[in-house]
Amino acid sequence: MTTPSAGRVRGRADPRAHLASVHAGKGTGVLWRITKLTLRHPWQVTIAIGSTVIAAGLQLTIPRLLGRAVDEAQGILVAGDAGERALWTTALLLLAVSVARGLFTLAQNYFSESVGHTIGYELRLAFYEKVQRLSFSFHDRIHTGDLITIGLLDLDGVRMFFSTGLVRMVLLSVLIGLGAYLLISTDPLLGVLSLSFVPFVAWRSSVAQLTLRKTWLMLQDKLSAVTRVMEENLGGIRVVRAFSGQKFELAKFDRASAEALELAYTRVGIRVRNTSAMTFSFFAAMGLVLWFGGNKVIDGTMTVGTLASFLTFMTILQMPVRQLGMMVNSFARAATCGGRLFDFLDQPLEIDDKPAAKPLKLGEGVLRFEDVHFTYPGALYPTLDGVSFEAKRGQTIGIVGAPGSGKSTLAHLISRFYEVSGGAVTIDGQNVNDVTLASLRRAVAVVQQDSFLFTTTIENNIAYGDPWAKERSIAGAAESAQLHNYIMGLPAQYGTVVGERGVSLSGGQRQRLSIARSLVLKPAVMVFDDSTAAIDAGTEHRIRSAIKRYAQDRVTLIISHRLSSLMHADQILFLDGGKIVERGSHEQLLAQNGRYRALYDLQVKPVDAEDFAVGSAAQ
């Protein structure tokens, strides 16, 4: 049985405010960190750099060979067959050099890309592993679209740094440095004229690329906004259709797309203007070389082949010089993207195993809250304020209260999805902060309100927490969750693939499948966080009866707005403002004539005749 892949993490919109960009002076450290990542693959780096140097050296011999071939072609009229043989020799040598250059360029491209993709693979694993370990509070602050942007676009900017930055820097250093020496040593005047376009092209290319980089970051933010609009629309497509909101959603998407398109047009204008200026400077320099070199040829102080070699070198050098700007852009992009990526990877884990953490040892299975306080980051008021209670094995605790009273937060603290602000949560006397997370979350199963299902088979969804669970256990859990009969009526039964987020199942069926997923684990503490809200009362009663045998050997917490779901509990806690304001059994709470009794009367007590008559008249 294969384990389904994890779904995308969801969070609240806070576009990249938390993951700050690179601060001034930090870029060099980021580039050095990326360079160290490349050096972890020394033989691939060595072959890539070595091939680049050899390919550049071979490329510099081509202009000289072409110049010699031109002179030898002229010499055929004088030397006859001897000149023709020399020309053939030069032509074959030129072919051999070109083939060798092509082979070494192939090796350069292959191994530089290989290094980049290997780094990308390692960073993707590190990124995804970090996503899995960060706490709920982090995901509460960060939007999913921003995480996807970091994991795709920023990571790609880091991945490409070796091939587009470091390797290109070596290539340009050899071509421009060694080429300039060869040209100037041959003829200082023509050498300077041949290189006269280099400073201007390098300057314009660098300015253009940095400007394009700045606008690319702006465009990236615009595209992130487009992604968020699209993601929200796709996630709520049923709501959009139900309320005929297609025109509104299309207009919203059109506004976001139009802003991105306008910025894209700006980038095209920058690129075209600078390309035209660089091309003009190149042909102006070539015109000067032709003028002065042609005069030298006429005067007899230079051969036609030498002039041809200067022109050939200029043609060869034109594209690499333009790549100076791309190299500068690569360094800038790597510094910016790497800064964001490493900021994310270096995020401290708010919830992690302590150095001396030991696995949870289960004995009597007693869950205890000891004066627990909790406040969400940035909140003005505490969500839980001095909550204390105890639950022993075999006991069922019901928790009820108004929305926002802290019921779900209480459930999340048991599994240590959040850290308590004060007090302690213990299981068999062991503080949950002092045990390993893996052992704690094996012992505590929380069936949440949001019944998230993966796009895989029903069997894999039920066995997600225990991929090696036997088919008998899976079927038994589904039967207890009152889902087995429905599954057996499907064409592929347990092999049926549910749609994205379980869209092919009803809300009640998704919740029952989530219950079955937790029952398979047979945990020491089971928490049902309003997990039967979408299930009809009859089915809920059958589920409750079926899982009684599970509840005998473990602590069970039931959080619900519907009192019929927890009337049978051994003890019911009524939360209000983060405090337990009433506690006791169902009968005891009714006798107190307090808030629980008022809620009971509202939900369960039949509507009196007068209210019914008023309602009928209103209709």
Domain 367-605 has CATH 3.40.50.300: yes
Order of strands, edge to edge, in the sheet holding 384-391? Answer: 384-391, 367-374, 422-427, 430-431
Nearest to 223 by CA among 266, 261, 250, 270: 261
We find that the CATH architecture of domain 27-345 is: Up-down Bundle (1.20)
- Could you list the mean pLDDT of each consecutive 10-residue stretch along the chain, which spans 619 residues? 36 37 54 89 92 90 82 63 70 87 92 90 88 74 74 84 88 85 85 84 78 76 78 75 79 83 84 82 86 86 84 80 74 82 83 84 88 85 88 88 85 87 90 88 81 82 83 85 84 79 68 82 82 63 69 83 82 89 90 88 60 40
Nearest to 483 by CA among 512, 523, 525: 512
Rounded Cα–Cα distance for residues 212 and 199 (Å) = 20
Rounded Cα–Cα distance for residues 617 and 599 (Å) = 26
Partners of residue 435 on adjacent β-strands: 358
Please tell me the pTM assigned to this model.
Answer: 0.69
Q: SS3 of 580, please?
A: strand
Order of strands, edge to edge, in the sheet holding 555-559? Answer: 444-447, 525-529, 555-559, 396-401, 571-576, 579-584
Query: Residues with Cβ < 8 Å from 60, sequence gap 6 or more?
Result: 174, 175, 178, 179, 182, 313
- Which DSSP symbol is given to 300? T
**Amino acid identity, position 603:** Q
Residue 111: the pLDDT is 93
DSSP states of 178-191: IHHHHHHHH-HHHH
Q: Positive or negative CA dihedral for 144, 147, 151, 157? A: positive
Q: How many residues does the chain have?
A: 619
Q: Per-domain residue ranges for the chain? A: 27-345, 367-605
Rounded Cα–Cα distance for residues 188 and 325 (Å) = 27
